Chains A and B, each alone.
Chain A
Amino acid sequence: MATFALRRLIQAIPTFFGITLITFALIRLAPGDPLSLLVFGATDLTAEDYAALRRSYGLDQPIPVQYLSWLGRTLSGDFGQSFLYRRPVIQMIAASLPNTLQLSALALLVAVVVGVPLGVIAARYRGTFVDQLIRILSVAGHAIPPFWFGLLFILVLSVQFHLFPVGGMLTIGKGEWDIADRLAHLVGPVLTLSLVGIANYSRYMRTETLDILGQDFIRTAQAKGLRERTVLYVHALRNALLPIITALGGLLAFLISGSVVVEQVFAWPGMGRMTFEAARSKDYPIVMAVVVISSALLLVSYILRDVAYGVADPRVRRS
């Protein structure tokens, strides 16, 4: 088992470097560089000053050399300084990660808590009006683009009816721990972000539950004279949930990388928005740090999943 885990880990290393190399190359080869954006309009800057600036940011080196020196620093745990914000990248991530975690964890919770029961109910009342209604909701959840839903939410509930704030995490002047204020700010982004999840899980749960309801042990349970509710929620649900739990495994990366769209629309100061801004202004150190962290987490979660499968099913270990 240990060798299996080790093998998967070693296999992941080239993948990881491949990801960083490709990202690094892509972002550098895109038109525009951070300096020309930074100094654009500084019309009296001399050519020497410009060259000195390039040197101070290490941008005068060939791209492969830049990659290697970036890699060296990163491996020693130094993600460098943001070009634009002139502060350590790690400090910027530390400031926005909790915000994103808060948002995505809540969205995930809402998606599961709402989506799973909806799916079970749809299965239970298969073919009825209730099933149809849930189906329509779920298709709509898939079809509505989150940015559109978010903008509509703001336009109607915030601007028209003043029920929720337009954006941000806190009202200026309210305390850090004003829970009601915090919740009011969370409603829009959490709802928008969980929409697709609700749609997904309800469809998924419906299929799984129907599958299981057709199996022998359910018939046995029913034959024993157990109540319908017990059969559904104790016997069927537990088994139907297993594949969902597996699907949750890949969500680690989602949890920390955040949603660019939702964070943009609701002015949420999280990882997604920070990364988006950084990519737009060619702030390489931030973009690279986020790529490293999220790809590492994604790879680790895959390894954990494989190892878990291996534990569960010995055949996987040998393949």
Chain B
Amino acid sequence: MRLRLSVPLRRALVGLAIAAFVVSACAPAAVPPAAPSPAKAGQAAPAAPAAPAGPPTPGGRYIFGSFSDAKVLSPVLSTDVPSAEVWWRVYESLIKVDRNTGQPVPRLAEKFEFSPDGKGLIFTLRDGLTWSDGSAFSGDDFKFTAEAVMRSKKTVRKNIFQDIVGAREFGEGKADTISGIAVDGKTITVTLEKPFCPALTGIGGFGVIPKSVFGKYMDPRDPSKNLDDAPENTAPPLAMGVFKLKEWKPNDHITLERNDRFFGGKAFLDEWVFKIYPDATAVAAALKTGEIDAARVEPKDLEELKRVDSLNFFSFLAPGYTYLGWNQLRGGKEFFQSKEVRQALAYGLNMDQVIDKILFGEGKKMLAHTPPVSWAYDPEALNDYKYDPKKAQALLEQEGWTKGPDGIYQKGGQRLEFTLITNSGNRVRETLLQIAAEQYKQLGISVIPQTESFEALVDRLGKSKDPKYGDQGGHDYDAFILGWSLGDDPDAYSIWHSSQIQGGFNQVGYKNEVVDKALEDGRTNCAQADRKEAYKRFDRQLNEDQPYNFGFAPNTLLFVNKKFQGVDPGPFPNYYNGTLWNVEKWWIKQ
């Protein structure tokens, strides 16, 4: 049952991989207010917590239920959401992002700025930062972390640091330090080879590991040495975060205990526990019995859990979406290259009904790529493609398609027919597949539904070649249903730039100059207003072209026991700590 979620989870890697942000020039100088603020409209559900009464009482334990264990507690090596959810409690980064908008906010660095040319990043650390053993935190820890990533042979995070001047050379052993990172007291200066706006949240938002612990595994002069097999990767001895590791029983639970030296003031809670269950159903059952205090749940369990008196329900839009992708580089299915056909596919599927049926209303129809919760989102002038089968048919007929005797459109002897694939075991996608096949058939489009294992689908998306368009990057499928879980930065170059058709994640073979230019601008013109304008151009073009049917964005559905005060979750960073951004201020009301 866990596989059902594994695509969103895997795809949340995008969140880690392309998590990046920009700030115009100067940054706010303080952490966001830690006191719970009133939930934003449409964010918190009926049962939003009341303002905590009386002074907070210290002590107690928070148990979070997950249906997947963490794997490795290292920012350098982890690739999965559960691991990140745990190690983000232990390690900290120079900056973080605002939970509601995804905009960068200070963390270990009290100030940060981008140089006007977009190539320099300057961070200023807070005073008096210390690790959990009392030793001082310094810019050297940050620099060491970047060096550790560049020397690791098992990380998938090199892309975050590789554009720093001298980073590649250090990784290959041609230099014994990364020349583009300069540490001078509290000031860290990072120099990039070329302007790259997402670098701020990418580099600044990377978890910093202690040099004093991992330094012994590295040798500046020997590139073959790295921390890949260090036992401290699974048992971090030092912490910078709110908690530190107490014990880890694999496939059972991980217990963290309070770090009294946390820079934001020590937490009220004594312990934070990550408890593992085999699947979402077991997690829901444990929520009901009170065995766990909180969990994210699936829509199917919603109604029952809402009736549990002891639980508060939070619901907010997640940055990401489930979509139907139309492969434009597919021999014999060239009709996907027609904008009108793709628009007809958008008008011809009742997405609001899908959201009601599959997500019980806990979601939102997507009109383009950028998440509606992101600061970069601008709904202005986006066509909403309201369900309109007549309009869909008119678009097809206008393109010269006529209905054949079987009720399916045809043109020049070719039927409007394609195979739609999704991964088996994902109930949301399988249901969407059925509904799409039915509704498109009523329209006069024949859809052959197909499911295969997630592994096989991943192979097909990445490695297969279309017999006719394989050389141009075309893959062996007509159309597919999958999901993206997106990061904090609006950058979507790797998914939509035409250079990413060959071997990248532009798996539908979409090429458009306006989109290419907008994505390049979004990476190089780092003033926030400029970026926002670039992503507006980008979203408008995608909205017009409909290279995907953009489907819907699901809500994150979170339940937390009512006794916890100060819980005020938001969508950013996606999945792993938008809930816990202020966990040090939480307390238990008896």
Contacts and interface: CB of A to CB of B under 8 A. Distances in A.
Given A40-B11, A43-B505, A86 B278 contact: no
Contacts of A31: 453, 455-456, 459
Given A31-B453, A31-B455, A85-B234, A38 B79 contact: yes
Interface string B153-165: 1101111100000
B5 interface: no
A133 interface: no
A267 B283 CA distance: 10
A57 B152 CA distance: 12
A242 interface: no
A32 B504 contact: no
A127 to B, nearest CB: 44
Nearest to B290: A162
Contacts of B228: 56, 86
5 contacts: A42-B13, A86-B233, A154-B285, A158-B289, A267-B276
Interface stretch (B212-220, B250-258, B359-367): B250-258
B275 A52 contact: no
A32 B453 contact: yes
A7 interface: no
Interface string B479-519: 00000010000000011000010011100000000000000
Given A32-B455, A85-B72, A173 B61 contact: yes
Contacts of B416: none
B291 A41 contact: no
B288 interface: yes
B282 interface: yes
Given A56-B154, A86-B234, A87-B234, A172 B458 contact: no
Interface stretch (A163-171, A218-226, A290-298): A163-171
Contacts of B503: 47
A30 B455 contact: yes
Given A166-B291, A167-B286, 15 more contacts: A32-B455, A37-B455, A40-B11, A41-B13, A44-B159, A53-B153, A53-B154, A85-B71, A166-B286, A168-B275, A170-B252, A172-B61, A269-B276, A274-B250, A282-B455
B285 A158 contact: yes
Interface in A18-64: 30-32, 36-47, 49, 52-53, 55-57
A38 B291 CA distance: 31
The size class of the interface chain A forms with chain B is 35 or more
The size class of the interface chain B forms with chain A is 35 or more
Contacts of B250: 85, 92, 95-96, 269, 274
Contacts of B307: none
Contacts of B276: 168, 267, 269
A186 to B, nearest CB: 14
B251 A273 contact: yes
B8 to A, nearest CB: 10
A32 B456 contact: yes
B18 interface: yes
A95 B249 CA distance: 8
B326 interface: no
A145 B17 CA distance: 43
Contact of A40 (B13, B279, B494, B495): B13
Contacts of A40: 10-11, 13, 458
A39 B13 CA distance: 8
Contact of B458 (A32, A44, A154): A32
B588 interface: no
A84 B71 contact: yes
Given A30-B455, A49-B156, A81 B285 contact: no
A280 interface: yes
Given A41-B14, A95-B249, A159-B285, A273 B229 contact: no
